[in-house]
Amino acid sequence: MTEGGSSAMRLAGFLKKETLQILRDPSSLLLGIVMPVVLLFIFGYGVSLDPKNVPVAMVLEDSGPEARELAARFELSPYFKPQMVYSVAQAKKRVDSGAVDGIFILGSDFSAQLAKAFRAEVQLVLNGVDANRTRLIQGYGLGIIGKWLDVRRARGEGGVLPPLIVEQRIWFNESADSTNFLVPGLLTLIMTLTGTLLTALVVAREWEKGTMEALLATPITPGEILLGKIIPYFILGMTGMLLSVILGVFLFNVPLRGSLMLLIALSGLFLLASLGFGLFISSATRVQFVAAMISVIAGFLPAFFLSGLLFDLESTPRLVQMISYLIPARYFVIISQTLFLAGNVWSTLLPAAGMLAVMAIVLIGATRKKLVRRLPQ
Amino acid sequence: MKILQRIITLILKEFSMVLRDPKSRVVVIVPPIIQFFVFGFAATYDLTDVRYAVLDQSRTVQSRELLARFEGSDNFRLVTTLSSDSQIPEMIDTGKARLVINIPADFSLKLAHGDQAGVQVIADGRNSNVAAIALGYVTSIVQQQGRQILTRRGQLAVEPSLELINRAWFNENLVSRWYIVSALGGVISMVVVMILSSLSVAREREFGTFDQLLVAPFRPFEILIGKAIPPIVFGLFDALLLSGAAVFVFKIPFHGSVSALVVILTVFVVAVVGVGLFVSSISTTMQQALLGSFIFMMPAVILGGFTTPIENMPDWLQTATYLNPLRYVVYGLREIYLAGGDLVSVWPLIWPMACIAAVTLPLAGWMFRRRTT
């Protein structure tokens, strides 16, 4: 038998053993296939940065037609859900109890002021604990008032137009729906989970149980061991990824504007980098407990905080930005958001893909080196 | 007395399992602290340097005046000046600029005629939250300029305007870092506690030592206490340390009471240990335990109201989040830090977590015997 032939046979046998190990333990399949679907389902429905039906207490001290008209606009808006109360004190109580997020006040001189000086005050007092949400709600409030003023002007009740207006266009996501950018981001998180967490323990387990020493005593080469560990998890990870894409596109209507083949190819690259990272942790620590801690600390949490998935990296201090360049998830967030929302923009995709390729090669190469170095002491 | 002695022996054994290996010692204590700092700086929705490009087709005093306002703003950073429309798609597609401000050629002409002049702003919507915030900044700058123009014309008094007086309680300047970092300590300590507790029984199961423990003269609840105390101690240590760091390093205001903080964190850590030990008790290998703890932690973090508000979720999902211990601590910490919560006001958030612990801990103890390897 030739050298190549026996190597292929060894690898096939080893692959079979690894695959059986995965199939025997339902937790890997649960995390690799079922979790992506469940997570995407929950997140697609549940995670949104867009406030809707914000409960506010509404205090109308003025019952003139103008005041009622403006109040009605707030009531009809999908963003607000006003509750009538009769005094500011009562409204404050509702804020304290958490029943409402803010107070909308039209003072008793609202109509009079508006008639006399064209200027009147509308107060919107909000609970600012969640600053991002509060700012968005303020924006909605301003929008409603602006529209009402336009209508008044059209009826000839107003004065001059504001001289400048902003005509805004949000490319790739005209309706600024946050699901459209969160779902591609979640794909990154899900693949980091399958890539890094699933593999972080597999080599360490063999060391801890002593089976690695037995394995190294057989004619199997470190390269073959590595391939045997990568291939089954790669297939598992890609299956989870494809299911997530299908769910994102067909259930949550996230547009996939770039090519599907490209998405699959680049996901494969990212998965290799994640698998490499998990296997490297595993073979460098050789203790399952430590490998588990590190995979969470260096794998999962940075993929959440430092990938640009939710938080804008450019607004962070330079040091944090520099750390983020070491996180594979950062590059895949760019790739997946671009492919889903913008299309095949090569000038964005190529550098990111290049970085992932470098990371995959370095990490898998380093793991192989760790495997070659035989028994400690 | 005997019971106490037995429990103490067990606890000491559990501590030594984590602390005897130098690598384990380090990973339990150092990374949570480093992470808190890195993530604390990373976790903000506020934008500082929005890169923008300008296409000024008007090239007049008026357009330059408006653009000068952007250049003077801390929120924006000019990357380049464009010379034609055709350059806009490239800017946005490649992400060189996240906003393009396009002033049309008839800008000054319209202003001179007293017409409304439009300023076109194109934003990269790949992260629509960033786009919406940046457009908000743009609108307020353009409005300021509009006011100035009206003042000059002497028309400010006749502009029919409604001053929307926006005020925000508890976080006047709307710093989103306050919102995130006040709860970050809870999230990081949950991760540490969850991993420590979920691996503890599973490790013994994998190596077969748990069966020995079960045949030794310990009652299940003694084993439970022995297993629960070390992660509680580590978790509480991390949580309190990080809570202090939030105040002293990130300058998050602390308006509430320290006793409320200690109580809510303690109950939270105990509840998480309950979940962790339950996961551990049904796992036979460390791999299963680690994956099991993630099956719990992923939804817990994302549906805990930590980064995206629970109020934005559909009702059925909001109801489901009542089962999530992280939800209570996230809201509780914010209440204590920012709104000045004390034991009385956060009590409604404490007892549900106590209930979760009261279910999961006994369940874990019961599973110790049920499932043997």
Residue B347: give the domain boundaries.
3-43+175-371
| Residue A57 or A212, more confident | A57
Q: Using an 8 Å Cβ cutoff, are B287 and A201 in contact?
A: yes
Q: With CA atoms as reference, report the closest residue to B155 among A114, A307, A118, A191.
A: A118
Shared domain for A118 and A21, answered yes or no, is no
Instruction: Report the share of chain A in percent with pLDDT over 90.
Output: 16
Q: Give the confidence band of B32 by pLDDT, cuts at 50, 70, 90.
A: confident
Among A293, A319, A327, A341, the strongest candidate for a mutation testing the B interface, having the largest count of B CBs within 10 A, is A293
Q: With CA atoms as reference, report the closest residue to A134 among B314, B138, B172.
A: B172
Strands A102-106 and A119-127: antiparallel
CA A277 to chain centre: 20
Residue A91: give the domain boundaries.
54-155
Tell me the nearest-neighbour CA distance from B53 into chain A, angstroms. Answer: 15
**Given the structure tokens 């629970």, which residue do they identify?**
B310
Shared domain for A151 and A123, answered yes or no, is yes
DSSP secondary structure letters along B104-157: -TTHHHHHHTTPPEEEEEEEETTSHHHHHHHHHHHHHHHHHHHHHHHHHHT-GG
| Residue A331 or A39, more confident | A331
Shared domain for A313 and A181, answered yes or no, is yes
The count of C-alpha atoms lying within 13 angstroms of the C-alpha of A341, restricted to the half-sphere facing its C-beta, is 32
**Tens of pLDDT along A13-24?**
888 888 888 787
Shared domain for A276 and A317, answered yes or no, is yes
Q: Which long-range contacts (CB under 8 A, 24 or more apart) does A218-224 make?
A: A219/A10, A220/A10, A220/A14, A221/A7, A222/A368, A222/A371, A222/A372, A223/A368, A224/A7, A224/A10, A224/A11, A224/A14
Shared domain for A26 and A58, answered yes or no, is no
pLDDT value for A37? 85
Shared domain for B254 and B295, answered yes or no, is yes
Strands A102-106 and B76-81: unpaired
Shared domain for A231 and A327, answered yes or no, is yes
Cα–Cα distance between A241 and A253 in angstroms, integer? Answer: 17
pLDDT value for A374? 57
DSSP alpha helix (H) spans, B170-219: 176-207, 209-215
Shared domain for B361 and B312, answered yes or no, is yes
Shared domain for A149 and A38, answered yes or no, is no
- Mean pLDDT (chain A, rounded): 83
Strands B99-103 and A164-171: unpaired
**Structure-token pair, residue B160:** 């029919």
Cβ of B145 and A338 within 8 Å?
Answer: no
Query: Is residue A109 in some structural domain?
Result: yes
Shared domain for A144 and A211, answered yes or no, is no
Cβ of B126 and A167 within 8 Å?
Answer: no
Q: Give the confidence band of A117 by pLDDT, cuts at 50, 70, 90.
A: low
Query: Is residue A244 in some structural domain?
Result: yes
Q: Is the pLDDT of residue A159 over 70?
A: no
Cα–Cα distance between A172 and A184 in angstroms, integer? Answer: 13
Query: Is residue A121 in some structural domain?
Result: yes
Residue ranges of B 247-286 with Cβ closer than 8 A to chain A: 283, 285-286
pLDDT value for A311? 81
| Residue A169 or B158, more confident | A169
Region label for B124, one of left (φ > 0), alpha (ψ between -120 and 50) or beta (otherwise): beta
The count of C-alpha atoms lying within 13 angstroms of the C-alpha of B342, restricted to the half-sphere facing its C-beta, is 2
Q: What count of other Cβ atoms lies within 10 Å of the Cβ of residue A5? A: 9
Q: Give the confidence band of A101 by pLDDT, cuts at 50, 70, 90.
A: confident
Shared domain for B221 and B342, answered yes or no, is yes
pLDDT value for B161? 53
Q: Give the confidence band of B156 by pLDDT, cuts at 50, 70, 90.
A: low
Q: Give the confidence band of B157 by pLDDT, cuts at 50, 70, 90.
A: low
- A295 contact residues in B (CB cutoff 8 A): 290
pLDDT value for A238? 92
Last residue of a domain, one of A123, A155, A187: A155
Query: Is residue A342 in some structural domain?
Result: yes
With CA atoms as reference, the chain A residue closest to B116 would be: A163
Cα–Cα distance between A373 and B372 in angstroms, integer? Answer: 37
Query: Is residue B202 in some structural domain?
Result: yes
Shared domain for B206 and B338, answered yes or no, is yes
CATH of the domain at B113: 3.40.1710.10
Query: Is residue A166 in some structural domain?
Result: no
The domain tally of chain A equals 2
Nearest to B291 among A45, A197, A324 (CB): A197
pLDDT value for B16? 82
- A159 contact residues in B (CB cutoff 8 A): 155, 158-160
Shared domain for A219 and A240, answered yes or no, is yes
- Is B34 buried (19+), middle (13-18) or exposed (0-12) by CB count in 10 A? exposed
For the segment A104-124, the average pLDDT, to the nearest whole number, is 78
DSSP alpha helix (H) spans, B249-307: 258-282, 286-302
Shared domain for A26 and A84, answered yes or no, is no
Q: What count of other Cβ atoms lies within 10 Å of the Cβ of residue B65? A: 12
Q: In chain A, count of helices (H) and strands (E)?
A: 18, 5
Shared domain for B30 and B122, answered yes or no, is no
For A113, list phi and psi in degrees, rounded to 5: -60, -45
Residue ranges of A 301-320 with Cβ closer than 8 A to chain B: 301, 304-306, 308, 310-317, 319-320
pLDDT value for A35? 81
- Give Dmax (Cα) for chain B: 94
Cβ of A166 and B116 within 8 Å?
Answer: no
Q: Give the confidence band of B267 by pLDDT, cuts at 50, 70, 90.
A: very high
How many interface pairs between A and B have CB atoms less than 8 angstroms apart? 365
* A41 and B CB contact within 8 Å: no
**3-class state of residue A125 by DSSP:** strand
Cα–Cα distance between B206 and B226 in angstroms, integer? Answer: 19
Q: Give the confidence band of B163 by pLDDT, cuts at 50, 70, 90.
A: low
Q: Is the pLDDT of residue A353 over 90?
A: yes
Shared domain for B54 and B195, answered yes or no, is no
The domain tally of chain B equals 2
For the segment B53-58, the average pLDDT, to the nearest whole number, is 92
pLDDT value for B292? 87
In sequence order, the 6+-apart residues with CB closer than 8 A to the CB of A115 are: none
pLDDT value for A1? 44
Lowest mean pLDDT among A158-162, B30-34, B44-48: A158-162
Query: Is residue B159 in some structural domain?
Result: no
Shared domain for A193 and A84, answered yes or no, is no
Cα–Cα distance between A163 and A181 in angstroms, integer? Answer: 34
Question: What number of residues does chain A have?
Answer: 377
Shared domain for B265 and B234, answered yes or no, is yes
**Tens of pLDDT along A64-79?**
888 888 888 888 888 8
∠ Cα A108 A110 A114 (to 5°): 155
Q: Using an 8 Å Cβ cutoff, are B47 and B134 in contact?
A: yes
* B30 and A CB contact within 8 Å: no
Shared domain for B189 and B254, answered yes or no, is yes
| Residue A213 or B67, more confident | B67
- Mean pLDDT (chain B, rounded): 85
Shared domain for A260 and A278, answered yes or no, is yes
Q: Is the pLDDT of residue B154 over 80?
A: no
pLDDT value for B373? 46
Tell me the nearest-neighbour CA distance from B361 into chain A, angstroms. Answer: 22
**Tens of pLDDT along B196-222?**
899 888 888 888 888 787 777 778 888
**Tens of pLDDT along B220-236?**
888 888 889 999 999 99
Cα–Cα distance between B214 and B225 in angstroms, integer? Answer: 14
Instruction: Report the share of chain B in percent with pLDDT over 70.
Output: 94
**Tens of pLDDT along B281-299?**
988 888 888 888 888 988 8
Lowest mean pLDDT among A53-62, A164-173, B133-142, B356-365: A164-173
Cβ of A135 and B120 within 8 Å?
Answer: no
Q: Give the confidence band of B7 by pLDDT, cuts at 50, 70, 90.
A: confident
For the segment A107-126, the average pLDDT, to the nearest whole number, is 78
| Residue A47 or B364, more confident | B364
Shared domain for B21 and B54, answered yes or no, is no
Q: Is the pLDDT of residue A149 over 60?
A: yes
Instruction: Report the share of chain B in percent with pLDDT over 90.
Output: 25
Cβ of A293 and B290 within 8 Å?
Answer: no
Shared domain for B342 and B313, answered yes or no, is yes
Q: Using an 8 Å Cβ cutoff, are B280 and B201 in contact?
A: yes
For the segment B171-179, the average pLDDT, to the nearest whole number, is 73
Shared domain for B33 and B67, answered yes or no, is no
